[in-house]
Structure 1
Amino acid sequence: MRKRFTPMDHLAMLRLSCRQYYWNISYAGKGSVTIKRLLNMFKAMADFDIINTLIYFVTYGVVVETIYGLIFIFKGIKAILGITPLSEAYAAVRPFNMILIGLLVSFVGCLIIFNPKRLKRSFNYKKSVFYRNTGITPKEVVKDKGLYGEYIATCAEEEVFKKYNLKGRIYNNVFIPHHGGNFSEADIVSVSNAGINVIEAKALGGEIEGFALANNWEQTMGKEVYEFTNPIFQNLNHMNYLSEYLAETVKNDDEIGDVDLNYLLYMRNTILFLDKNATIDIKAQAAPNLFYVCSGTDFYIKSYKDYPKALYNLLPREIVDYICEAIRDISFYTREEIEDMMADRQIAIDRGEYRYKPAYHIAYCEFVIDEDNVEGGICLIQEQNGYKFYFDPKDNWFKSMTDMRIKTIYQTYYSYQEAMNAYNSDSVKDKRYIIDIV
């Protein structure tokens, strides 16, 4: 999986080391950023946009001065070595002056251009979790906006692990198998003593708007408006299928013994918007286990400070190790393997496979609370792809409940609205069961 880095990879690492303004996620996968910025400067001048004109001008000034400083150093070294002839008057002094001035200019320029944290991250790229998991080189990262987003999000999660001393593993491109051959792909899954964190990395900028429970959200870029799938629901599906996969893995493993499947409830649905200039406007109260992150990853990393200490010890070490081993079996794919899997799935979809019409059941269900306690009541259950998910009326999400047992199905509907009407009817309302999920 490891590859030898080329000069283009080292150039890409320099880009990844720049401050947000000089290189950010919006530049990934585009052509010459330098030419683009130059055109932007002339456009700002034409529009009499003094502030942006000044910003672009300073940017170019710093870059040019840094290059000039490097040239100064080079000339000074040549003078000391006697390659470049100097007049007798300045022969003893001028080379050292050149080097000192060059070093000073280059040092100041580098401080302005490069972000120390990003620079350190680039120097350690080969040791990063992202590279060890994927084998993707810096050159590939800067050419693909999605890969760049996953790289930044993985680095943020890696920083969380180090900063808050979490014990566990971080995985990229986790392909969660479904019944019937289909699969879900989770961008990042981390498993630690603080629980299971399923992360959806969104390399989107502009203005992001939507309702927390809507099927689609909107992205506004200038005068253009684009729709995209609600990432909360998108990632919730990943969480549900991952929970079901892990539960089945536990049940089929004779050596693991009795594992409390309620540990699988300790999952966080994390949506990371990675463009620094993105603004997020979600028109509903978010669930307490969901992060909305805007303007990079700083807020996400700092948010762990507000966690109660008890949340850092949700999962025992043996459970963390077992879940990590199970997830390891469905990750660590090469780019070629991923492309083949995606192509095969598309062929199956074109043939009409993987089209499962959901059914909704009004049913009496039982839930295992602990070894000596089983509770039950009437629930709304969604059945899809051979899986059954519990409707949580506290946030209107369908969730995987691995210890749920359907005892009696009273009525089945194939329309979500009809099922909700029956679930909210007077004959059911007083008998509904609402489980407390951490």
Structure 2
Amino acid sequence: MSEINKLKILNDPIYGFISITNPLVYDLIQHPYFQRLRRISQMGLSYLVYPGAHHTRFHHALGCMHIMQRTVQVLKFKGIEISQEEETALDIAILLHDIGHGPFSHAMERSIVENVHHESISLLFMDRLNEEFGGKLDLAIKIFRGEYDRKFMLQLISSQLDMDRMDYLKRDSFYSGVAEGNINSERLIQMFNVHNDTLVIEEKGIYSVEKFLVARRLMYWQCYLHKTSVAAELILTKILKRAKELTQKGEHLGASTPLQFFLENKISLEDFNDDVLRKFSYLDDFDIMCAIKSWQFHNDHVLSELSRMIINRDLLKIKMRAEKVDKAQVEVLREQLITKLGITDKEAEYFVFKGKIKNQAYNKTGEPIHILKKDKTIEDVVEASDQLNLKALSKPVTKYYLCFPKVLLEEAAI
């Protein structure tokens, strides 16, 4: 019997052909842990706003690996020594950087598991895969953890201008149809260099960086933090919270085996042993949507009503404003809802609530985007740019929201 050809070419709508040139990378892509990403939405419930946004974490991870390969080629062409082992490790690290995402990406982190960040779960998956593959992921994990002595390699994976951000902006812009988010990733890749073990952009690429930062800001307000997307994700979080609350009171809601496990148990990072990780690996968007389709007919008013909102795209009304929402206004709306529907105060909290969202396209206090000037000095992009708006982009912008059912629209008087 002949061995499977592990050198593959995949067709991607963003970059054209993506090559898998390493048998180890092929085996990792074929692993059930990674194949699960085909069933995890890249943009959560954003398809309720942008119908085309149905692409997955699987697409994104392969795209990140492709632009990592392109970047490594450019750096080697410019005389930066990168061994074959390092090259493979970079491919693996960026390929697996999002493997720990739960269903609908971020909703799980605030509801079913107890504040466990997806990056922590990604590392657990990487460690488990490393055991299965006999230590072949050692260097990739070392780079991912920031423990490798070549600092620029971590910057390629996690920084303010990394492969992750470059792919998701271009990809999410394409699938959502939000043209303002499109970036010239090929130009940015060509401008990468390494100076004193620091990832830099050559000075002639500064305008591409400016475009990248502006595109990031616009994508957040227009896409990721679009008010309807925000409302949908908040509702989903509350559905899972309510389901967990009812389950732990002894009610059987009906859910897939892995989802039932996470509803029944309080899971923190310390609880993620091999068995819990295996159960998490069986969990994806389909488990959640199948459960919600069933829960819309449950006799618990909160669970059924919130589930119907997602299924029928008849969401809570969300109002955005620049000032904080008055707590008294929330209380008044809750009282009105209690009177209208005859529900309890605790149940009303699921339908009327406030909060805030923040957008910061560039964080000056974090690891800066370094511009390599012609005299070989390095400058922060904000200082190197002649665009005053970049200084504005480095300031966080906060918006406050108020959510409530549409039946209260007249009473809300906002």
- Tell me if TM exceeds 0.5: no
Bigger relative contact order, structure 1 or 2, given CA contacts below 8 A and separation 6+? 2
Higher helix share: 2
Higher strand share: 1
- Report the structure number with the largest CA radius of gyration: 1
- Given the two structures, how large is their TM-score scaled by the length of structure 2? 0.29
